[in-house]
Amino acid sequence: MRARRLRELIASGRTIAAVGATDALSARLIESQGFDCVYIGSYATAASRFGLPDTGALALPELAEHARTIVNAVKVPVIADAEGGFHDAANLWRTVQAFEQAGVAAIHIEDHAYGKHAAVAQRLRPAAEAAARIRAAVEARTDPDFMVVARSDAFWVSRDLEDTIARLNLYADAGADLVFPTLVGPGELAEVRRRIDRPVMIVDMPGRALAEHGEAAVVLYYAFSALVQFEALGRALEEFRREGKLPGGVAAFEEFLGYGEFAARARRYGGG
């Protein structure tokens, strides 16, 4: 049902903000503020669960199980990062199965084979190999509403828009529901929209409001919760070390988590 809801949101023509969560609590906060969906990626998972940079070191079970905890905490659709698919095309059904069973509404699969940092030599998968992975993922899904998003990092790696568009067209022909060119600006995004017959997912363009991403169907604010938590907790710890005082009370926090609902159930059903 949530996968169908995501399809409906994308079909509406609005630009959807998919705000990045780090965990179930941040996902619930995102939902509580009225956002239509939640995103969980390898960047936030590596940082929040393991205190690691996002360098491709996470395994399928780590990402899928973390996505499951977020799905279970909210009612809105969850979009998840499936990295490069973790398996070759013939075995990619296991990746799709893991995320479908976790309850996510969509995954994106990338053609980045190695690198993900400016100081390291980057390597992309051959386009035909990446397209085969997309086709395998599309054919492996059991829920027809579950969405497979094809991500190309060609523009990020080489600033080659023609190669990016050629790759994304191959992936669209393989059955991708959306295409995802990383790190494009407004001009490149408009060209992708003009030349590829699929809705487009992008990461946010720094310094631009959501309304300025109007050519995109979905904008991933992938680092939102991770950055806010890093900065806010750092400031609070500095203040605590300096002044020795804890921040505010716990009443609002516990109300949000549902302690009151537990108390109501205990009164109704007994316990202890």
Check residue 59 and give its pLDDT.
Answer: 97
Mean pLDDT for the stretch of residues 81-88: 97
Question: Does 265 map to a domain?
Answer: yes
Q: Are residues 259 and 186 in the same domain?
A: no
Residues with Cβ within 8 Å of residue 222, at least 6 apart in sequence: 20, 39, 41, 43, 44, 203, 204
pLDDT one-digit tens code per residue, 127-181: 999 999 999 999 999 999 999 999 999 999 999 999 999 999 999 999 999 999 9
Asked if pLDDT for residue 268 goes beyond 80, the answer is yes
Question: Does 157 map to a domain?
Answer: yes
Q: Are strands 218-221 and 37-40 parallel, antiparallel or unpaired?
A: unpaired
Q: Are residues 193 and 71 in the same domain?
A: yes
Q: Are residues 158 and 24 in the same domain?
A: yes
Q: Which residues are marked as active site?
A: 54
Helix, strand, or coil here: 135? helix
Going by C-alpha positions, the residue among 189, 249, 235 that lies closest to residue 216 is 189
Average pLDDT of the residues of the chain: 96
Question: Does 227 map to a domain?
Answer: no
In terms of residue numbers, what domain contains 174? 2-222
Asked if pLDDT for residue 32 goes beyond 80, the answer is yes
CA distance 190 to 88: 32
What's the predicted TM-score (pTM) here? 0.96
Q: Are residues 68 and 180 in the same domain?
A: yes
Asked if pLDDT for residue 270 goes beyond 90, the answer is no
Q: Are residues 214 and 245 in the same domain?
A: no
Q: Are residues 36 and 124 in the same domain?
A: yes
pLDDT one-digit tens code per residue, 192-238: 999 999 999 999 999 999 999 999 999 999 999 999 999 999 999 99
A 10 A CB-CB count for 51 gives: 7
Q: How many domains does the chain have?
A: 2
Question: Does 202 map to a domain?
Answer: yes
Q: Are residues 115 and 209 in the same domain?
A: yes
